[in-house]
Structures are given as C-alpha cells and as structure tokens.
Amino acid sequence: MTATAYLGPEGTFAEQAARVLVPGDELRSAVSVHAAIAALRARQVDGACVPVENSVEGSVPATLDAMVEGEPVLAVAEAVLPVQFSVLVRPDSGAADVRTVATHPHAAAQVRCWLGRHLPAATTMLTDSTSAAAVAVLEGRADAAVCAPVALAHYPLAELASGVHDKDDAQTRFLLLRRPGTLPPPTGTDRTSLVAIAADRPGALLEVLAEFALRGINLTRIESRPMKARLGEYQFFLDCEGHVAEDAVGDTLAELRRRCTWVRFLGSYPRVGAPRPGPDPAGFAAAKEWLSAVRAGRSA
C-alpha cells in the first residue's frame, strides 16, 4: 500500500483533501508542511498533500518555500475544498471562558471578523495547523480552537460554534506532491506550475510574462518570494493553464530556461474548474511542420 503524508495532526483540511486525492492510501500526519515534504524526499512516503493557496489569504508561503528548498518534487493533482470552521472548546467551557483562541494563520485570517464580533476579548494564538490548535485546547494551552469540523471526530471537545467564516465562498487549494517520475497525461484541463528567477536587468520580468502572452497561455497566478540570501532578490512562482506536453507550454518553458537564471518545473496536473479555451494545438503543429519543411529546403 502506498502512503501519503499530510499537514496534521488528524482532523485538518489537508487530511480531508488527502482522502479526496488518494482515497486508498495509508495517511500519515506530519507536524508541518516542511515535515510532510521532507518525508516525501526521504522516501518515507510516496506522496505529500499540502495546502498551496487560499481564496482569502492567498498563497501558503511554507508550501512554496518547501517545494524549492531541496530535491525536486512535482505536483500531480490538486483538490479544492470549501472552507468553513468550527470553534471547539473543552466540554465544561462556554463563550465566557474563552480568553485565548488557537488556530492556523490562514484560518485566523478567514474568521477575524467573526472572532471580533463573538469573542472580542479573546487573544488569537497561532499554531502549525488547525488540528494542532485542538491539541492546544486539550492540553490547556488555549481555551478555544478554530478547526475543521472533522476535528470533532478525532478530539474529545465540544462545538461552541459551527459554520464560522467571514466569506461565504472561501476555498483552499491543495496539491498532491510526488517525487519526479512519469507525469500525468494531458487532460485538456490542466495546470502547470513553475518557479523562475528572472535575470537582473530592466524589463526581465516583462520578458518572462511576454512568453506566455505571445503563445496565448493564461497565467492563473504569479507571486514573488524572497530568495532569503540577500535583500531585494526574488523568485517568481507561476501557474498557467495547459500541460508541459503541449507545444505552447513546452515552448514557453524552454524559452524561460534560456532567458532566466534559474527555472524549476513544479508539475503539470489536472486543474479543478471548468475548461477554458487555450492555445490552438493545430496552429502550433502546423507551424512546426512549416519550420521543418523550411529547414529541409522543401518550402519557403
């Protein structure tokens, strides 16, 4: 049986996402995103399920950093979960007893207004995951935890409130990571992820973006993250529609490899969401045939 690590402990949204992405796998909780990906690199597990992006708070920096700080890992699938929280307390506690609320930073951002209205005197304490917050309540280090509702099935706590959120349609995207190997085949509705370091010259980032625009490829996300070596040095994480096996996306990545000082391919995998028109495969194929004919002296 294959095994998949996820951001734990038990009862996190990452565990729910893992059950969607790899329903037959043995699931092993990890104390952090870095720990889950480290277990994958060390061949202790076959996959890692980690959060990468939230519709309210944006990208998850720990995941982006862990994907590039070490041996390559590749995203092979994604899952998007709607996010609503429960507030859990010890069975003998009520709202009047809550002075500290523990939760993950991204969860805190999604319930900030709710906490301000319903628990205005409480101080927020940040934890590595929402389930770690539940453990903090059990151990007496916090009075309440903002958790995934499934945490109730794992921890002997009481639900103070359910359906807690500031935005009705909040969602979190999770990636299933594996070690490099055979890529998932194109489905026609795919996403490709990569990270690049643009050359240090005027217009270098514009040149990177132009490679996608020239080929009609839609960028779905672009984000800069510090290199952590010297102030002012950044790497750019990009997601685009399409698969590296397709001519348009493959040509783009090859050109970025030529123009940038460093590029790491992070995966091509089926994308959640409705299909949208992309680059015309027939047009790219016809162009390649024409070029081959020109090079062979058969046509001008």
pLDDT confidence tier of residue 84, bands split at 50, 70 and 90 = confident
User: Can you say whether the dihedral through the CA atoms of 22, 28, 32, 35 is positive or negative?
Assistant: negative
Please give the pLDDT value at position 88. Answer: 96
The closest alpha carbon to 81, from 33, 150, 3, belongs to 150
Per-residue pLDDT band for 300 (boundaries 50, 70, 90) equals low
Distant-in-sequence, close-in-space partners of 143: CB < 8 Å, separation ≥ 6 = 89, 90, 93, 97, 98, 99, 100, 101, 122, 137
For residue 274, pLDDT over 80 is answered with: no
Looking at residues 152-168, what average pLDDT do you find?
Answer: 91
Of residues 1 and 213, which shows the higher confidence score? 213
pLDDT digit string, tens, across residues 236-269: 999 999 999 999 999 999 999 999 999 999 999 9
> Going from the N-terminus, what domains does the chain have, and what CATH number goes with each?
1-83+170-181 (3.40.190.10), 85-164 (3.40.190.10), 184-300 (3.30.70.260)
Q: Is residue 218 predicted with pLDDT exceeding 70?
A: yes
pLDDT at 167: 85
Q: What is the mean pLDDT of residues 90-109?
A: 93
User: Quick check: 293 pLDDT over 80?
Assistant: yes
| CA dihedral over 27, 62, 172, 145, signed as positive or negative | positive
Count CA atoms closer than 13 A to 191's CA, side-chain side. Answer: 21
Which CA distances in Å does 296 have to 190, 242, 291?
A: 34, 30, 9
Structure confidence at residue 245 (pLDDT): 95
Question: Highest mean pLDDT range out of 43-47, 66-70, 102-106, 107-111?
Answer: 43-47
